[in-house]
Structure 1
Amino acid sequence: MIQKIRYVWHVIAKLFSFALFGSFSLLVAVFGFPIMHVFAGFSEKRFKTIARKLNHLFFIIYIKIISFIGCIRVSVENKEALANLRSKVVIANHPSILDVVILFSLVPNADCIVKGDLVKNKFVSLIIRNLYIPNNIPFDDQLELAKKSMEEGNNLIIFPEGTRSKPNEPWEFKKGAARFALYSKNDIVPVFFGGNEKIGIRKHDKILQYHPTERYQYNLKVLDPISVKEFEDVPMTKSAIVLTKKMKDILEAELPNK
């Protein structure tokens, strides 16, 4: 009986977390952005700097709230490596819908490649159009925008799988993350997401599902940077393949059964 009560509470906590995120995102976009534009003197560059800092603060607070209500636990090994990160490509495996939120709470000055379909989402469309790079524009444009963003000191968050992992299936890494790093000549910082199974927030899970016995546990490990210097004189086509395999091998080595 107690276990059933805990399960119901966890589902309610998850639904509340989703509602909180959507509501706050809408409020920021509708009311916060105009105020930020005024404080930035209508300078697009200053506006983005202010907005990224406030977004980072929001994600920190958001993670603290959903941790407090018993939805998740987060531990980070080598967390200090992310504190002053600048102009890096941050990659990670992607087991759940909360991964990007957690990374945004840890990585300052974060930019991101996001699904173009999210531009149609009324809760986050204004935020995405103002701050991040949608993946439904030409890839060459994505490369240029990402390079420019990292030249300004921002860090590009990207999941090489392109979408959440399918439970109990091998990871499939696309070459996009490698191409962003190679094109911009910025090193890669891999972050491994471990912990318990993310039932209810994985790909294709139902909204009322949750881990049957406990809250979501996120054990993150910030790994050593991957230098792109060795690929300077290698054609992009070949170097992207080799670098993608290297990223996948490094992250897969952290899996418990390896």
Structure 2
Amino acid sequence: MAKIRYIRRILAKLFCFAFFGICSLILAILLFPIIHIITGFNERRFKIFVRKFNHQYFKIFVKIAELLGAIRLTVENRDSLKNLRSKVVIANHPSLFDVVILFSLIPNANCIVKGELIQNKFISLIIRNLYIPNNIPFEEQLEMAKASMDEGNNLIIFPEGTRSKPGEPWEFKKGAARFALYAQSDVVPIFFGGNEKIGLRKHDKLLQFHPTERYIYNLKILKPIPVKEYESMPLTKSATKLTHKMKEILEKELPN
């Protein structure tokens, strides 16, 4: 029975990947042109509409993953995200599903994404239309992120820059802090807890899964970090101190 459950979870995981890829392709190729027409080819209205649409799409995806037995999700202080506006949302990054889960929880979300994803035919049009690629000059990224947050959107960013390496300490980069300081936007930390995400971690194989149970995601929405106290410092110093603060707050949630 244990082997059957293991195989069933792997099949559920593969179905989730296929569902996400196909739906993203349909969204980009078929629905985007229709939404452009509906919104009168107005870029701002288009982005508002699509962000709301994506939020619902990711909620459906997460619910399907739960119903299939691939994941189990609990969120502490979920209500604090309902009316979230103009914030930099940071989190530790243990698995591939992290971004999807955050987008399912946070309305009007923007994100810094790998520029190489533009080459992915399934999601390249979504990336080009909605999010900020990290392969453009950093000053342009700052301006784009600030403009987005000025409109009320929230910027999701993982300070590590990539998924955590199992068994190794976190290494936070200063980018998240610089975005928050430049836009004068407070930081909302989110901790991803739960079991080990075997099969979704960095360098894991596609046909791996946790050996005894589904992926368990226990998220905790933590108190915002105000950036006001860092504004009077030189940028290099303030970015360093804010980065250390973010890392300290998230590390406190790690199990002993």
Q: Shorter-normalised TM-score: what interval?
A: over 0.9
Equivalence for 2:165 = 166
- Ranges in structure 2 where 5+ consecutive residues have no aligned partner: none
Equivalence for 2:99 = 100
User: Is 1:60 the equivalent of 2:59?
Assistant: yes
User: Is 1:122 the equivalent of 2:118?
Assistant: no
Alignment of 1:22-37 (within 5 A): 22-37=21-36
Q: Name the SS of the counterpart of 2:243 in structure 1.
A: helix
Alignment of 1:178-217 (within 5 A): 178-217=177-216
CA deviation profile, 1:61-89 (whole Å, cap 9, x unmatched): 11001100100000000000101000000
Q: Which amino acid aligns with 1:111?
A: N
Deviation at 1:233, TM superposition (A): 1.0
Give the distance between the partners of 2:230 and 2:189, measured in 1 at CA.
18
Q: Which amino acid aligns with 2:70?
A: C
- Ranges in structure 1 where 5+ consecutive residues have no aligned partner: none
Alignment of 1:111-150 (within 5 A): 111-150=110-149
Q: Which amino acid aligns with 2:244?
A: K
Give the distance between the partners of 2:38 and 2:94, measured in 1 at CA.
38
Equivalence for 2:234 = 235
CA deviation profile, 1:22-49 (whole Å, cap 9, x unmatched): 0000000000100110111000000000
Q: Name the SS of the counterpart of 1:156 in structure 2.
A: strand
Deviation at 1:231, TM superposition (A): 1.0
The percent identity for this pair of structures is: 70
Equivalence for 1:70 = 69
Alignment of 1:221-232 (within 5 A): 221-232=220-231
CA deviation profile, 1:80-117 (whole Å, cap 9, x unmatched): 01010000000000000000000000000000000001
Task: Please report the TM-score for the alignment, with normalisation by the length of structure 2.
Answer: 1.00
Deviation at 1:213, TM superposition (A): 0.3
Give the distance between the partners of 1:231 and 1:253, measured in 2 at CA.
21
Give the distance between the partners of 2:82 and 2:43, measured in 1 at CA.
25
Q: Name the SS of the counterpart of 2:74 in structure 1.
A: strand
Q: Report runs of 4+ in structure 1 exceeding 4 Å deviation.
A: none
Give the distance between the partners of 1:84 and 1:120, measured in 2 at CA.
34
Give the distance between the partners of 2:6 and 2:165, measured in 1 at CA.
23
Give the distance between the partners of 1:162 and 1:104, measured in 2 at CA.
17
Q: Which amino acid aligns with 2:241?
A: V
Deviation at 1:199, TM superposition (A): 0.2
Q: Which amino acid aligns with 2:101?
A: I
Q: Name the SS of the counterpart of 2:253 in structure 1.
A: coil
Q: Name the SS of the counterpart of 1:194 in structure 2.
A: strand
Give the distance between the partners of 2:48 and 2:83, measured in 1 at CA.
15
Give the distance between the partners of 2:36 and 2:19, measured in 1 at CA.
24
Deviation at 1:176, TM superposition (A): 0.1
Give the distance between the partners of 2:35 and 2:251, measured in 1 at CA.
41
